[in-house]
Amino acid sequence: MREITVSAGDEGQQLIRYLNHLLPNAGNGFLFKMLRKKNILLNGKKATGKERIVRDDLIRIYFSEETYLKFHGSVSESETFSHEITVLYEDDDIIAVDKPAGMLSQRDKSNEPSVNDYILSYLKGSGASSLDQNMTFKPSIANRLDRNTSGIILAGKTYKGQEKLSRWLRQRDVEKYYVCLCQGTIKEKRTLTGYLKKDPKTNTVRVSKEEIPGSKYIETRISPIAFSDSVTLLKVRLMTGRPHQIRAHLKSIGHSLLGDPKYSDIASYNLYKEKYGIKHQLLHAAEIVLPETGRIISPIPRIFTEIAKKEGIHGDLEIQGT
């Protein structure tokens, strides 16, 4: 028999979901059967599996040790990485970190370490209660950025935190602002609208003014921070969040991002690559405003302001208030 005390990080889940994570090799049907037969009890009582568990709930599992280990499977310790990440905000349920350009948000087929791995490593090193031995929920990121886009990544440290972030993002309660360096001069605030359609073969998107089959509505608000005759340091608020939305929307109005190999013409891309050695788009997730937490800021990367100054931009190059 095993006795498991629910940790704070798992609070809020349905019991059956918790059991599925705890015993991934058991199967949903088998677990419901064990609940009906009282081989799994919640706080000493029969449970249906639909109950919402809370911290310090006691789950008793009347399996032999051999059976429990078979259904539990092997669980390896989280890897520890030497890379450092900058933590921008942290509370009991949520963490926000600063992703550098060139790093994956989550692991892909290449199996390269990702921001998600570093968050797990950081929490493990800090002795976070969200990584208690019996906790089934594992902290994970709530938003993604393209590999070569830098800036704020949010993650839930607990099930409660992850659910909260997912709900806020789904209901568009989160304000998201980016900073980018684009070609040409933009002097006034604008609201850009249109329709975006993805081409899976080329992994690019196309923006049209009119709706076409398979397209989705997009809205992007742009506000210049500073500009010169050649480039503009731009603050962008995403009103809709579609793949490559900022890059494609700015290209559609003739202001492609510096260093963008997909959405700028070859001549312009090569020009800035030769001048400054940049090989990826200068796009940075600079600010997020959460309903309860408020404003989280990631400083504009130095390369943005250095190139801006070399291109003739002067004055205050910091992020302005929302």
Mean pLDDT by 10 residues, the chain (322 residues): 84 91 88 93 94 92 80 52 78 94 84 84 69 69 93 94 94 95 95 95 92 95 94 95 94 96 92 91 96 93 92 74 44
Q: Strand, helix or coil at 138?
A: coil
- Rounded Cα distance between 84 and 62, Å, is 43
pTM: 0.74
- Look at the chain and count its residues: 322
Q: Which residues make up the CATH 3.30.2350.10 domain(s) of the chain?
A: 86-170, 175-310
User: Tokens 């002795």 appear where?
Assistant: 127
Q: Which CATH number fits domain 86-170: 3.30.2350.10, 3.30.2130.10, 3.40.50.300, 3.90.1150.200?
A: 3.30.2350.10
175-310, superfamily in CATH?
Answer: Pseudouridine synthase (3.30.2350.10)
Q: Which residues make up the CATH 3.10.290.10 domain(s) of the chain?
A: 2-72
Nearest to 153 by CA among 88, 107, 240: 88
Instruction: Locate 102 and state its tokens.
Output: 């060139």
Q: Strand, helix or coil at 254?
A: coil
- The alpha-helical segments, DSSP class H, found in 42-150 are 65-72, 115-125
- Rounded Cα distance between 115 and 146, Å, is 12
- Cα-flanking dihedrals φ and ψ of residue 44, to 5°? 80, 5
- Per-residue model confidence (pLDDT) at position 83: 58
Nearest to 148 by CA among 290, 312, 321, 280: 280
DSSP string, 179-212: EEEEES---S-EEEEEEEEEETTTTEEEEESS--
Q: Which CATH number fits domain 2-72: 2.40.110.10, 3.40.50.150, 3.10.290.10, 3.30.450.90?
A: 3.10.290.10
Q: Strand, helix or coil at 268?
A: helix
- Per-residue model confidence (pLDDT) at position 79: 46
Cα diameter, the chain: 75
Torsion of CA 295, 87, 93, 138, to 10 degrees: 140
